[in-house]
C-alpha cells in the first residue's frame, strides 16, 4: 500500500527547478507554513548502517494523550498497516478507573487523527496485561503478544491473544500464557516488556524475547500457533529490551530492523540480513527534553517497504507511570532559505508527510534526502504566508 496523500487542489505550480512546489487550497495550522510530500522513500539499508537518519519530532508533543479518567498512563505502541491506514495497539491506563494495565486499539488513516479508541484485552485474572506486539493474520484477525503479570511464580510472562475488529474486549485467562520449549530458564524467567512477534512466510511466527533473570541477551523462538514456541537461540547481546522487529524486502533481499530501549533517554536499533544474528545496537535518537526523558517502549511505523517513523512511550517521571505516546518521523530534510540568506529548519512534523515552518516572505526550499545530507534539489523562489499549505514533488 502506498502512502495516501490528502486530495490536492493545486493552484499555480511554480516552474520546476529540481523540485516542484504547489500551493494547496487546504489551510495549514494557524501561524505556520505547512509543507507536504516529505515522507521517506523506500527503505535504504545503507543510511541505517551509517546511522544517517533525519528524524523530525511531531509538533504534537506528545502525539497522543491518555483519555480523561482516574488512571492515565499509555505506552507500548504497536502499529499494523491495514486497509485504509494503520491499526494502533497500545497498553497501560487509558483513562480507566483502576491501575491495571490493559490493551487498547485505535485506528488512523494518516496519523493526523486517531479514532475508535477502545479496550481489546482486559487484564482478567492478571493484575496487568501490557507491552503489546501485534501482527495481522491472513483472515484479518490480529495476533497480540503481550506481557501478563503475575504468573504462578509471581513473575512476568508472555501471553498471546487473537482479536478481531468488531469483537468485544477479551478477558485474559491463565490459558493465554505461552510456553517456550528448549529455553531451560523459562519457568523462573521474568519477561517484562520483551515479547516481540514477527510473522514470516506462511504460518511461521517468530518471538524475540528477553529475561531480566538472564539479562544482556535477546533470544528468538518460533511457532506456528502462537502458543507453543521452540527456542532458536540467542540473536543479540546487550542490556536492552527488544520492542519491535520489522522485516523489509529490498531488491529481493530481506532485512530485519530491531528496535530496543533501556528505560533511559535514548532509543537504539540493530539492522541485520539474518534474523538470527544482529550486530551491536546503535543509537536511534535521544529524548527531546524532560517531557520524554524516560523512554520505555517503541514501535516502528511502516508502509509497504518504507519506514515512516517511530512511536514511543515516554514520560518525565522515573516512576514510569505517567507516560504518553510520542512520535518521530523519518523525512526528507527541508530547509527554507530566505532571499536575505536566512536559513530556517522545520520546527516540527505533523504525521509522516508534513512539516511546519515559522516563516513567511520570499525565498526557496532546499530539499535533501532522508539521510539529511544528499541533495534532492531546490524549489523556485516563492512568496509564503503563514496559514498556507504547500506540497513538493521531486
pLDDT digits (tens, 9 = 90+) for 335-348: 999 999 999 999 99
What is the 8-class DSSP label of residue 19? S
pLDDT digits (tens, 9 = 90+) for 68-84: 999 999 999 999 999 99
pLDDT digits (tens, 9 = 90+) for 110-135: 999 999 999 999 999 999 999 999 99
> DSSP states of 47-101 as a string?
HHHHT---EEEBSSSSSBPPPSSSEEEEEEEEEEEETTEEEEEEEEEEEESSS--
- 201 pLDDT tier (thresholds 50, 70, 90): confident
Question: What is the mean pLDDT of the segment spanning 37-60?
Answer: 97
Nearest to 394 by CA among 360, 351, 365: 365
**How many Cβ atoms are within 10 Å of 199's Cβ, its own excluded?**
16
Share of the chain above pLDDT 70, in %: 95
Cis link prior to 62 (omega < 30° from 0)? yes
Cis link prior to 150 (omega < 30° from 0)? yes
The pLDDT assigned to 3 comes to 41
What is the 8-class DSSP label of residue 246? E
Q: How far apart are the first and last CA of the chain?
A: 20
Return phi, psi of residue 357, to 5°: -125, 140
Nearest to 13 by CA among 3, 4, 24, 22: 22
pLDDT digits (tens, 9 = 90+) for 140-192: 999 999 999 999 999 999 999 999 999 999 999 999 999 999 999 999 999 99
How many whole angstroms separate alpha carbon 178 and alpha carbon 334? Answer: 47
The pLDDT assigned to 202 comes to 80
What 3-state DSSP class applies to 292?
Answer: coil
Question: What is the mean pLDDT of the segment spanning 276-299?
Answer: 98
Residue with cell 551509517: 50
How many whole angstroms separate alpha carbon 394 and alpha carbon 383? Answer: 20
Question: What is the mean pLDDT of the segment spanning 283-309?
Answer: 97
In whole numbers, what is the pLDDT of the chain averaged over residues? 94
Q: Which three cell numbers stand for residue 125?
A: 485474572
- 7 pLDDT tier (thresholds 50, 70, 90): very low
Question: What is the mean pLDDT of the segment spanning 283-294?
Answer: 98
Q: Over 60: is that where the pLDDT of 6 sits?
A: no
- CA 86 from chain centre, in angstroms, equals 11
E strand or H helix that includes residue 46: helix 45-50
**Greater model confidence, 224 or 394:** 224
Cβ neighbours of residue 107 closer than 8 Å, sequence gap 6 or more:
84, 85, 86, 87, 88, 114, 115, 116
pLDDT digits (tens, 9 = 90+) for 83-100: 999 999 999 999 999 999
Q: Which three cell numbers stand for residue 335?
A: 530547509
- 30 pLDDT tier (thresholds 50, 70, 90): very high
What is the 8-class DSSP label of residue 194? -
What 3-state DSSP class applies to 1?
Answer: coil
**Greater model confidence, 116 or 1:** 116
Amino acid at each position: 500500500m502506498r502512502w495516501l496523500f490528502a486530495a490536492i487542489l493545486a493552484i499555480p505550480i511554480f516552474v520546476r527547478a529540481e523540485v516542484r512546489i504547489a500551493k494547496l487550497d487546504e489551510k495549514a495550522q494557524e501561524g505556520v507554513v505547512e509543507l507536504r510530500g516529505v515522507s521517506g522513500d523506500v527503505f535504504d539499508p545503507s543510511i541505517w548502517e551509517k546511522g544517517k537518519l533525519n528524524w523530525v519530532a511531531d509538533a504534537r508533543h506528545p502525539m497522543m494523550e491518555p483519555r480523561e479518567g482516574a488512571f492515565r498512563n499509555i505506552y507500548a505502541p504497536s502499529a499494523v498497516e491495514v486497509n485504509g491506514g494503520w491499526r494502533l495497539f497500545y497498553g497501560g491506563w487509558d483513562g480507566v478507573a483502576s491501575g491495571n494495565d490493559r490493551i487498547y486499539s485505535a485506528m488512523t488513516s494518516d496519523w493526523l487523527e486517531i479514532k475508535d479508541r477502545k479496550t481489546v484485552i482486559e487484564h482478567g485474572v492478571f493484575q496487568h496485561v501490557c507491552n503489546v506486539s501485534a501482527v495481522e493474520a491472513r483472515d484479518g484477525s490480529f495476533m497480540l503478544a503481550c506481557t501478563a503479570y503475575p504468573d504462578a511464580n509471581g513473575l512476568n510472562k508472555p501471553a498471546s491473544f487473537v482479536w478481531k475488529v468488531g469483537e468485544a474486549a477479551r478477558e485474559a485467562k491463565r490459558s493465554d500464557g505461552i510456553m517456550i520449549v528448549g529455553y531451560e530458564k523459562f519457568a523462573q524467567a521474568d519477561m517484562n516488556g520483551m515479547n516481540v512477534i514477527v510473522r514470516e512466510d506462511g504460518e511461521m511466527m517468530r518471538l524475540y524475547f528477553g529475561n531480566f533473570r538472564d539479562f544482556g541477551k535477546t533470544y528468538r523462538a518460533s511457532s506456528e500457533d502462537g502458543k507453543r514456541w521452540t527456542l532458536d537461540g540467542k540473536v543479540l547481546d546487550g542490556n536492552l529490551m527488544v520492542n519491535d522487529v520489522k522485516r523489509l524486502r529490498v531488491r529481493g533481499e530481506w532485512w530485519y530492523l530491531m528496535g530496543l530501549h533501556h528505560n533511559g533517554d535514548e532509543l537504539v536499533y540493530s539492522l541485520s540480513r539474518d534474523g538470527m544474528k544482529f550486530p551491536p545496537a546503535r543509537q536511534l535518537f535521544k529524548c527531546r527534553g524532560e517531557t520524554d526523558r524516560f523512554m520505555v517502549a517503541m514501535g516502528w511505523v511502516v508502509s509497504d517497504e518504507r519506514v515512516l517513523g517511530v512511536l514511543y512511550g515516554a514520560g518525565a517521571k522515573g516512576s514510569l507511570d505517567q507516560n504518553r505516546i510520542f512520535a518521530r518521523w523519518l523525512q526528507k530534510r527541508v530547509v527554507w532559505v530566505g532571499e536575505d540568506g536566512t536559513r530556517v529548519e522545520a520546527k516540527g512534523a505533523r504525521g509522516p508527510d508534513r512539516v511546519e515552518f515559522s516563516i513567511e516572505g520570499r525565498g526557496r526550499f532546499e530539499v535533501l534526502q532522508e539521510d539529511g545530507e544528499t541533495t534532492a534539489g531546490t524549489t523556485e523562489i516563492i512568496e509564503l504566508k503563514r496559514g498556507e499549505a504547500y506540497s513538493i514533488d521531486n
